Structure 1
Amino acid sequence: MKITFYGAAETVTGSMHLLDVNRTRILLDCGLFQGKRQEAFERNRHIPFDAASVDTLILSHAHLDHVGNIPSLVNDGFHGSINCTHATADVAKAILLDSAKIQENDTAFVNKKRAQQGEPPVEPLYTIADAMRSLQQFVGAGYEHTLNLAGGVSLTLRDAGHILGSSISDLAIQADGRRLRFVFSGDLGRPGGRILRAPTLLDGADVLIMESTYGDRTHGPLAASDDELARVVSDTAGRGGKIIIPAFAVGRTQEIVYALHRLANENRIPSLPIYVDSPLALNVTEVFRLHPECFNDEVARFIAEDKHHDAWGFDRLSYTRSVEESKALNDRHEPMVIIAASGMAEAGRIQHHLANNIGDPRATILLV
């Protein structure tokens, strides 16, 4: 057995680990490297192994740094199955199509500049058509369902509690005359999460690959976060300002909306409009509604008792899809909450909301 780490090692993007066992090649995640445009493009363009030699791909979850380079892998000759939970397959569809659209738009912008300088055009990393083609290779499964892969390897997906559909890959391997348990954690959530169940606890692994992004941090209780959110919204609205929240479209946006819904129901925040300004977040929220099997008991009870039977839909909340709707928010000057991507504020609609509000002493930029 041999493990080669091609990404997410000494960095936090480009998750990609290749397991060679019993003449079978299993790839764990296929994420995009993110960073400086040209450097990241070159790393993402060149798959560092023979893609056609890979038998199967297993996905831990559908964040871009874990699934975002699948179309490149397929373009390079990968024809195997892409195994993940049903929810991850649905989220990955939204993520990959959005990423492909960005690739095409960015390339069109670059080629316009290159044409002005008399330089030849460049190709996008992948296109929407490439992303659509890669989706045909996805094979969804439920939690705790065991799949038989090539080379005497079986896979059981356990709940990782990180984002919707996230899973721990629990591999049973017959190798060198003995049975090994190989576990790849992917990114892990925490017990007592806002929407999802706690990660499944495993023991007895012979080999463990585990993420450690928050390995040095003790998270505070969610109740304290809700109290702080209610205070910030109330204080900012009281002085007539807007609350601008940069948030990732997958996971964090849905957590914030759910928290605001609860606070509104409990009359802990003033009556003000709340906008989710991200087409991707809207698409992913629709996927959330399709997968209640991923929710913890508290969210399930909330949905059952809510008058709308929807954790992500209530009277004060609106989703903006068009650019025109997004820009129109700049012309409104009453207190409101605007949740927009991207979470790191390096791209997306959040940038024009920041530009229009960061100089307003009444406004709050809330980093979550």
Structure 2
Amino acid sequence: MATIHFHGATQQVTGSCHLIESTAIGKVLLDCGMEQGGDDGELYQKQFAFNPQQIDAVILSHAHLDHSGMLPKLVRQGFHGRIYCTHVTKALLEVMLKDAVSIYLHDLERENIRRARQGEGPLQPIIEQTDVQKTLSLCQTYDYLESISIGSAGVLKFRDAGHILGSSIVELTLTERGERKVLVFSGDLGNPDTVLMKAPSAVYHADVLMMESTYGDRDHRNYTNTCSQFAELLDKAKKQGGNVLIPSFAVGRTQELLFHLGCLYHQGKLEGWQVFLDSPMAIAVTEIYDRWAALLDKKAMNHLAKYNYDSLQSFLPNLHLTPDPEQSMALNRIKGGAIIIAGSGMCTGGRIRQHFKHRLWRTDTTVIFVGFQARNSLGRLLVDGIKHVKLFGEQIAVKAQIETLGGFSAHAGKTQLMEWQQHFKDSPKTILVHGEVNALESLAQSLWSDYHVKAMIPHEGELFSF
């Protein structure tokens, strides 16, 4: 008998981490992500509910930090097994983990200066960059659809999840006492309407299906309408004479935005605008997207080819990269006509908070959210209409225009999730993870009423046997 122990992303969107135990594979983690929503300095505080030294392997669905971010801590605490992932996932991991740990160490240094002034001793780092290097050395990379032996009697296969480059649906086949069981973990399923990524692969057979439910309670706005709304918001902001701030995830969302802005540029709809990509991590990731362009959607690539495309940057001629801190700070002196894309996507850290400090109180500023905002994150508070926020010890009035574009989401919407679930021909036990309570309950109810599928919604620490 195999078991699943749910240690993260249960009744919340972040912190994906599930422990699979079976005589076929031993103890294997599906993802090892951090819980996002608070400040960056708190991201590594959560303690593991298991002994990292006893984990035999990690299967990583994709590189986003809410699925991968705790790997350096896992390694620091004694994990030394294999980390199974796709080739692109490892390339993205190197950028993302180094950046996350760098931010953490910078915040720690600042906190220790504060403690020294108060006569307190320094805090020791939970993780360091050497832990990132050890993590990367443990990664074993594979192609989609490659059959991978794992443990004594397990077979692993990655399928394209269509979420970001390298993102995977995990198919794990276990053979115990001659009995074959198939576990499928959706990871994060992509939105088929996005332009750069392929649609999520269909899977037809499973005994147990673990499915994400981020947008289990709603569908996204039509893609064409979203693009029109985006252009209208930029036109409105231009008439106000101010600037546009777009908090964006460095992996996936930023590259989609650059594509859409490039399209608007070639349609003559970006006159008077300059676009600034103000994120060293997003700049590095965009280079990886260009390097692995063969994995992107063919329709998008054919469209880009019309403009002699050789990179996302060349497709958008008024794009400026600002990797250095001095370049980033200089953006605060621009009075109007700037579209500034900066991390982090949920505004829990990164350069976007500095831009908020300088511009959130201005009525001519427009903030456009293009991704999911987790509960308790600064982004979620702004979307929900908060009137004052505290940034860098200072109260800031929120007078900017706050807008949301749901159609650019890299996650499947409710109807798309249900349609993907219906590909399975053998009525697998369906378990809903990676969603807030309302989304989970709404999706479970619709699966039951429409398809007579009874879905389980696990609690943190719950154990499921199959």
**Scaled by the length of structure 2, what TM-score is found?**
0.75
What letter corresponds to residue 128 of structure 1 in structure 2?
Answer: Q
Matched, 1:29 2:24: no
Deviating 4+ runs (over 6 angstroms): none
- Return closer, same or farther for 1:299/1:125 CA change in 2, 3 Å cut-off: farther
For the residues of structure 2 that align with 1:206 and 1:283, how far apart are their CA atoms? 39
Contact 1:237–1:336 under 8 Å retained in 2:
no
Matched with 1:56 is: 57
Matched with 2:225 is: 224
Contact 1:143–1:157 under 8 Å retained in 2:
yes
For the residues of structure 2 that align with 1:271 and 1:331, how far apart are their CA atoms? 17
Residue by residue, what CA displacement relative to the aligned partner does 1:135-188 show, whole Å, maximum 9, x if unpaired?
Answer: 111111111111111121011100111112110001111123211111011111
Matched with 1:264 is: 265
Residue by residue, what CA displacement relative to the aligned partner does 1:277-318 show, whole Å, maximum 9, x if unpaired?
Answer: 111111111111121233111221133222342234331001
Matched, 1:42 2:16: no
- Return closer, same or farther for 1:147/1:225 CA change in 2, 3 Å cut-off: same
CA apart distance, 1:195:
1.0
For the residues of structure 2 that align with 1:88 and 1:139, how far apart are their CA atoms? 10
**Scaled by the length of structure 1, what TM-score is found?**
0.95
Contact 1:302–1:311 under 8 Å retained in 2:
no
Residue by residue, what CA displacement relative to the aligned partner does 1:194-242 show, whole Å, maximum 9, x if unpaired?
Answer: 2100001112210111111111111122111111111111222233221
Which sits farther off after the overlay, 60-69 or 109-118?
109-118
3-state DSSP of counterpart to 1:342: coil
> RMSD across aligned C-alpha pairs, in angstroms?
1.7
Segments of structure 2 that go 5 or more residues without pairing to the other structure are 371-466
3-state DSSP of counterpart to 1:210: strand
Contact 1:85–1:143 under 8 Å retained in 2:
yes
- Return closer, same or farther for 1:71/1:39 CA change in 2, 3 Å cut-off: closer
Segments of structure 1 that go 5 or more residues without pairing to the other structure are none
CA apart distance, 1:361:
2.9
For the residues of structure 2 that align with 1:242 and 1:113, how far apart are their CA atoms? 34
Q: How does 1:158-307 map to 2 (within 5 A)?
A: 158-307=159-308
CA apart distance, 1:355:
2.5
- Return closer, same or farther for 1:39/1:334 CA change in 2, 3 Å cut-off: closer
For the residues of structure 1 that align with 2:123 and 2:354, how far apart are their CA atoms? 28
3-state DSSP of counterpart to 2:285: helix
For the residues of structure 2 that align with 1:286 and 1:40, how far apart are their CA atoms? 27
Matched, 1:74 2:75: yes
CA apart distance, 1:35:
4.4
For the residues of structure 2 that align with 1:297 and 1:200, how far apart are their CA atoms? 15
Matched with 2:338 is: 336
3-state DSSP of counterpart to 2:45: helix
For the residues of structure 1 that align with 2:114 and 2:236, how far apart are their CA atoms? 46
Q: Percent identity?
A: 37
- Return closer, same or farther for 1:254/1:179 CA change in 2, 3 Å cut-off: same
For the residues of structure 2 that align with 1:175 and 1:271, how far apart are their CA atoms? 64
Matched with 1:100 is: 101
Matched with 2:362 is: 360
What letter corresponds to residue 165 of structure 1 in structure 2?
Answer: G
CA apart distance, 1:40:
5.0
Q: How does 1:314-329 map to 2 (within 5 A)?
A: 314-329=316-331
- Return closer, same or farther for 1:164/1:234 CA change in 2, 3 Å cut-off: same
Matched with 2:312 is: 311
For the residues of structure 2 that align with 1:79 and 1:265, how far apart are their CA atoms? 50
For the residues of structure 1 that align with 2:21 and 2:220, how far apart are their CA atoms? 36
Contact 1:61–1:88 under 8 Å retained in 2:
yes
- Return closer, same or farther for 1:36/1:340 CA change in 2, 3 Å cut-off: closer
For the residues of structure 1 that align with 2:45 and 2:193, how far apart are their CA atoms? 40
Matched with 1:157 is: 158
CA apart distance, 1:41:
4.0
3-state DSSP of counterpart to 2:344: coil
For the residues of structure 2 that align with 1:103 and 1:356, how far apart are their CA atoms? 23
What letter corresponds to residue 358 of structure 2 in structure 1?
Answer: N
3-state DSSP of counterpart to 1:262: helix
CA apart distance, 1:7:
0.9
For the residues of structure 1 that align with 2:233 and 2:37, how far apart are their CA atoms? 32
What letter corresponds to residue 340 of structure 1 in structure 2?
Answer: A
Residue by residue, what CA displacement relative to the aligned partner does 1:88-111 show, whole Å, maximum 9, x if unpaired?
Answer: 111111110001101211111111
